[in-house]
Structure 1
């Protein structure tokens, strides 16, 4: 769920193959995105991370999307997919455990990138027991084999600038490991950082930072420290997920703060499909999503080195098709409402974007007085000091609702810090969530979902009383 999907990797002379599905990076060199995007041009004077703002990332001519565009010139979706997805650089996944060929496979990419004057984004994805046996299961048979594989991977890096995204989910997702197994994995990751830097001092190595609605910043920082992040160049967040750039940037700064703000560490953020945030708690090929910031190192954020497309837009998570399969309908949906990559955009705002970018203010129809029959499902996922909640609002009445406002009171000391798919405000313990226009109409029997993130001190009791447009709802 939080992880990418395995990508095939086949050596190709000038370039390399492509990666794995729920996660890669059509990482690019200029960016703008559907609702909050970083300006591509004029990055010069802006605040900057440790990558030069004008860094040009390597475009893989053998990626699945590039091949599909070339093979389908007459398809009605091709122009949009070509202009807004295939045109962008992407990360290249090394997810098949092939120790005999990995050096030459990596060298094919780094050599082609160096010749083009571009920076490749390479994703190493072969840790044993990866994805805890989920949709992206696989990897090396054991840690000694993995250590040897990393040495061979590093041997192909050359000497030019390279970005290495090291093992998505390997640090955030450890629920299937014993304490000793986790320690052993983290020690292996620390060795991998050292091995890669020794092979190519110009390589930038980023470790797994999870994302803003997973582990707390303090917990993720502790894990990163154990995996040797202080000797790396930073960490990556949001791989294969949908959290907004603003929320991920804030989370990255919190992790850096928990690490003591070492000057050598920065974050990179996967923005491949976070343009309008998550679809509630749905993670596997949810509909209605949009590409986010186009890949760029011009982030206008000193904590963030780059926005990268680590998960290739259009590649399935495993529900619409087998994980890693390019699905043109998914790519078209992600691209059709996104801005043209040649159009300058504004730097990310501090406010998370709303879903489905309106061309003007979304309509805010006045909720009717009463006449609402409703049920509410409130599901929280908690950790020490914080939690996320997924809230489903269902119209159980016989008439449509046009515009909704949901209210409740927290029984404890919870404080909302961010939300998606709804506008959420809090006064004392009282919380109000209102629709965003596009999701404000609920036909009889229809439902919609939104989410929030919050903190708490000593009491995280779940609320049980909700009102929709002033009418009490049942809970489920």
Structure 2
């Protein structure tokens, strides 16, 4: 089978980050949606689970390094999740077979393939991801071949990242040619496969304004597409992207359009305006069509976590340390931390409620403590919160924090702690890397949740059964 290549150059010359991997596509059938909740959509227009490709860079590394100390966590939290496949090398004679192989593998697994055509001339304005087809005419021919491989079942196409948000290098004539080429691609894909869902580039919430973004989308034929995507290879909070998307839809005046959000690395939000391998970021919401947002078709991982932006390593190169850091700090905590836990039916896998809050670990001393609880972001019926613990008593080798929600709140996933619940009662336990808490030591963990009515903060916290101030 002809090798299928994905993007190796960095995609971002401005605020967005890079993406890329080269992987040989095999005819192997993927594991059928390991650890993904959601087989039916609760919002938007998509139904189903996304395809987990066993030949991605992260899964190739995992197969080659099973005894690496980082492998278990990377495999659990990144390798188990589906990510988009990029088509970024100009290989006109083989692109149809590459697409066909990938789509057929997804169809065999009864899952949705996510494809990223990245071949426009003058992409990235000649920056780090320069390349693409030599001419607009050649691009249209490449699009025809790409379309011929899409099959007849549902597929998601993330069309040409940066093509609309980044146009500073284009003349008015070149913009018109690009818009025409994008519109042609949307139409051609739909002609060949009416079930395909094509989304156009909307940048992200901290780039162009909603009105400007809507104008660019309109010029590129978004009215004939399923909608647009945002946050590709960036770190912006999901809540900010959803709000941005609603404003773009409003500016477009077309309520039939939907949004897709890249959540691959936004679990801890951005680090200022840094886009190139910023430290301390984490994986975000697991890919799903179950978004709970009527304007959002899906959360997807457009940028495979662990592939460098060009600062930690060459753009597109898989870096185990990057993947480990993203996994360690991320929202996705699958598989569940214990055999008794099961995936939550909500936004992403999380620990299932326990029968009752557990007592503190035996033999662990208690002491004075303080706990701060902060809601970092809130939208619709969802929110993200951070809990910070300060131990004022004797040093601890493990810890348990408990509280009771005063409202109708539910935790859907957590990071840097194992969190379970029984009704309104919540128990958070340390994970392996943050169990030691010395006197006057501080640690924190976060979680994503949902609520109805008032999202009132808890008033009383206990650390190892000792009430904290």
TM (norm. structure 1) is: 0.67
1:66 to 50, 55, 59: 59
Query: Who is 1:76 aligned against?
Result: 69
User: Residues 457-476 of structure 1 correspond to what in structure 2 (within 5 A)?
Assistant: none
Q: How does 1:283-294 map to 2 (within 5 A)?
A: 283-294=275-286
- Given that 1:275 and 1:353 are in contact with CA atoms closer than 8 Å, whether structure 2 keeps it comes out as no
Provide the rounded CA distance (Å) in 2 between the counterparts of 1:150 and 1:42: 30
The reply to whether residue 192 of structure 1 matches residue 221 of structure 2 is: no
Rounded to whole Å, the distance in 2 between the matches of 1:66 and 1:167 is 25
Aligned counterpart, 1:14: 27
Contact 1:58 1:120 (8 Å CA) reproduced = yes
Does 1 or 2 have the higher relative contact order (CA < 8 Å, sep 6+)? 1
Give the match for residue 332 of structure 1.
324
Q: Which residue of 2 aligns with 1:277?
A: 269
Point out the more displaced range, 305-314 or 343-352: 343-352
Retained in 2: the 8 A contact 1:95–1:139? Answer: yes
| Counterpart residue number, 1:23 | none
Matched with 1:133 is: 126
Residue aligned with 2:198, SS: strand
Which residues of 2 match residues 42-441 of structure 1 at below 5 A? 46=42, 48-52=43-47, 55-263=48-256, 265-338=257-330, 339-342=332-335, 343-344=343-344, 349-350=378-379, 358=386, 360-361=387-388
CA deviation string 1:422-464 (max 9, x = no partner): xxxxxxxxxxxxxxxxxxxxxxxxxxxxxxxxxxxxxxxxxxx
- Contact 1:272 1:310 (8 Å CA) reproduced: yes
Distance apart, 1:13 and its partner CA: 3.3
Cα offset for 1:10?
A: 5.3
Structure 1 residue 8 displacement after superposition: 4.6
Distance in 2, Cα, partners of 1:132 & 1:4: 15
Q: Which runs of 5+ in 1 are unaligned?
A: 18-27, 32-39, 364-476
Note the residue ranges of structure 2 that are not aligned, 5 or more in a row: 1-11, 336-342, 348-376, 391-469
Q: CA 1:275–1:8 in structure 2 vs 1: closer, same or farther (change >3 Å)?
A: closer
CA contact (8 A) 2:231 2:261 kept: yes
| 2:197–2:225 CA contact under 8 A, matched in 1 | yes
Retained in 1: the 8 A contact 2:120–2:132?
A: yes
- DSSP 3-state at the match of 1:290: coil
Q: Distance in 2 between matches of 1:8 and 1:241?
A: 17
Helix, strand or coil at the partner of 2:158: strand
Determine if contact 2:39/2:49 at 8 Å carries over to the other structure: no
SS of corresponding position for 1:305: strand
Cα separation, partners in 2 of 1:16 and 1:139, compared to 1, 3 Å: farther
Superposition CA RMSD, Å: 2.4
Contact 2:262 2:302 in 1 (8 A): yes
Output the CA distance in 2 between the equivalents of 1:29 and 1:218.
39
Cα deviation, residue 4, structure 1: 5.0
SS in 1 for 2:215: helix
1:204 counterpart SS class:
strand
User: Whole-Å Cα distance in 2 between the matches of residues 293 and 147 of structure 1?
Assistant: 35
Q: Distance in 2 between matches of 1:72 and 1:153?
A: 34
* Equivalent-residue separation in structure 1 for 2:195 and 2:68 (angstroms): 42
Q: Deviations over 1:384-415 (max 9, x none)?
A: xxxxxxxxxxxxxxxxxxxxxxxxxxxxxxxx
Alpha-carbon distance in structure 1 between the residues aligned to 2:60 and 2:327: 17
Contact 2:232 2:262 in 1 (8 A): yes
Instruction: Give the Cα–Cα distance (whole angstroms) in 2 for the partners of residues 306 and 312 of structure 1.
Output: 16
Return structure 1 stretches of 4+ with deviation > 6 angstroms.
Answer: 28-31, 351-354
Cα pair 1:241 1:274 within 8 Å, conserved? yes
Matched-pair contact (CA < 8 Å) for 2:83–2:302:
yes
TM-superposed deviation, 1:56: 1.3
Structure 2 CA distance for aligned equivalents of residues 216 and 137 of structure 1: 25
Per the TM alignment, residue 7 of structure 1 is displaced from its structure 2 partner at its CA by 2.9
* Preserved contact between residue 284 and residue 317 of structure 1 (Cα < 8 Å): yes
Q: CA deviation at 1:184?
A: 1.0
Q: Please say if residues 19 and 233 of structure 2, whose CA atoms lie closer than 8 Å, have aligned partners that are also in contact.
A: no
Please give the alpha-carbon distance, in whole angstroms, between the structure 2 residues aligned to 1:289 and 1:303.
26
CA distance in 1, matches of 2:193, 2:39: 30
Rounded to whole Å, the distance in 2 between the matches of 1:315 and 1:238 is 16
For 2:136 and 2:57, the matched residues in 1 are separated by 31
SS at match of 1:268: strand
Aligned pair in 2 of structure 1 residues 29, 219: CA closer, same or farther (>3 Å)?
farther
Q: Is the 8 A contact 2:34 2:80 kept in 1?
A: no
How far has the Cα of 1:11 moved from its partner? 5.1
